[in-house]
């Protein structure tokens, strides 16, 4: 029963991930929100090519306000990073003034225009007001042409009005009272949980993966059989006496 429930939860998790992918055909982030002054594991989603041309490379700019960015290994892409200046901030007792300013992903095999892919980064989000957007301008290169997802809305302007908006993460209220330090271990834990959910959902079917009603019926029939056996034995002893 525990395995049945576990597999159902895993499948539900995968379904929720699929529903979380925005319908808009832009390079987007998931989740689209993260705690102010905390850590978050964010995926950048590549939904299509450039006018039906396969994607060969894309570069994500890391704003100076994001103190650290750690890209996760991706089997479909090679990764290179550039260093740049950062807004001065104290992190783990050390003053940070420089760090990763750009992450470039180059496809080992061009990503077809009708296929979706994800890459992940652990980001140290800046301290800011809830509702503030942190933008990650991205340039997508294809076998033919490129798309520059670099537009940032002006004050009072909506992202929906932009043709090629930059992916963004919206800050929420700070998580905990230790400048986000308490959340530092969450990215690895979240990625491990996601991996466990996928492994569970994709596990092969075995004997105890039958529907729950089958198990219940079997227990009821077993109990009835036991009662009938006891009654038969009692009647037999009475006849002998």
pLDDT of residue 159: 84
Across 65-89, average pLDDT: 97
pLDDT of residue 206: 44
Answer whether 17's CB lies under 8 Å from 116's CB.
no
pLDDT of residue 220: 54
- Cα 35 → chain centroid: 16
Across 229-239, average pLDDT: 49
CATH fold of 2-201 reads: Immunoglobulin-like (2.60.40)
Which range among 55-64, 86-95, 119-128, 154-163 shows the weakest confidence by mean pLDDT? 154-163
CA dist., res. 200 & res. 3, Å (int)? 9
**Sheet of strand 138-142, all strands in order from the earlier edge strand to the far edge:** 77-91, 94-111, 55-61, 138-142, 146-149
CA dist., res. 152 & res. 168, Å (int)? 9
pLDDT of residue 26: 85
Across 185-193, average pLDDT: 47
Per residue in 112-160, pLDDT (tens digit) is 999 999 999 999 999 999 999 999 999 999 999 999 999 999 988 888 8
Answer whether 101's CB lies under 8 Å from 75's CB.
no
Number of H helices, E strands in the chain: 3, 12
Which range among 177-181, 209-213, 222-226 shows the weakest confidence by mean pLDDT? 177-181
* Ramachandran bin of 180, using left for φ above 0, alpha for ψ from -120 to 50, beta for the remaining angles: left
DSSP secondary structure string for all residues of 87-130 = EEEEETTEEEEEEEEEEEEEEEEEEPTT--EEEEEEEEPPP--T
Query: For the whole model, what pTM was predicted?
Result: 0.66
Q: What is the mean pLDDT of the chain?
A: 77
Domain boundaries, the chain: 2-201, 215-240
Per residue in 13-23, pLDDT (tens digit) is 433 333 333 33
pLDDT of residue 223: 58
pLDDT of residue 21: 37
Answer whether 38's CB lies under 8 Å from 177's CB.
no
Q: ω before 182 within 30° of 0 (cis)?
A: no
Which range among 31-40, 65-74, 150-159, 203-212 shows the weakest confidence by mean pLDDT? 203-212
């Amino acid at each position: 029963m525990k395995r049945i429930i576990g597999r159902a939860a895993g499948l539900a998790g995968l379904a929720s991930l699929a529903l979380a992918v925005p319908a808009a055909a832009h390079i987007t982030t998931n989740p689209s929100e993260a705690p102010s002054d905390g850590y978050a594991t964010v995926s950048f989603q590549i939904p299509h090519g450039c006018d039906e041309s396969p994607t060969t490379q894309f570069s994500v700019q890391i704003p100076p306000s994001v103190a650290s960015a750690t890209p996760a290994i991706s089997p479909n892409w090679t990764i290179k990073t550039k260093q740049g200046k950062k807004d001065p901030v104290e992190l783990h007792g050390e003053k940070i003034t420089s760090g990763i300013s750009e992450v470039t992903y180059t496809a080992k095999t061009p990503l077809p225009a009708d296929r979706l892919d994800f890459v992940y980064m652990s980001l140290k989000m800046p301290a800011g007001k809830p509702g503030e957007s942190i933008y990650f301008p991205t340039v997508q290169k294809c076998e033919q042409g490129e798309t520059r997802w670099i537009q940032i809305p002006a004050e009072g302007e909506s992202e929906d009005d932009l043709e090629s908006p930059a992916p963004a993460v919206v800050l929420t209220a700070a998580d905990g009272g230790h400048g986000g330090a308490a959340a530092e271990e969450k990215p690895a834990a979240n990625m491990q949980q996601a991996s466990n959910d996928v492994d569970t959902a994709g596990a092969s079917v075995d004997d105890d993966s039958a529907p729950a009603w089958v198990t219940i019926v079997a227990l009821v029939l077993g109990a009835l059989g036991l009662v009938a056996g006891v009654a038969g034995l009692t009647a037999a002893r009475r006849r002998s006496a």
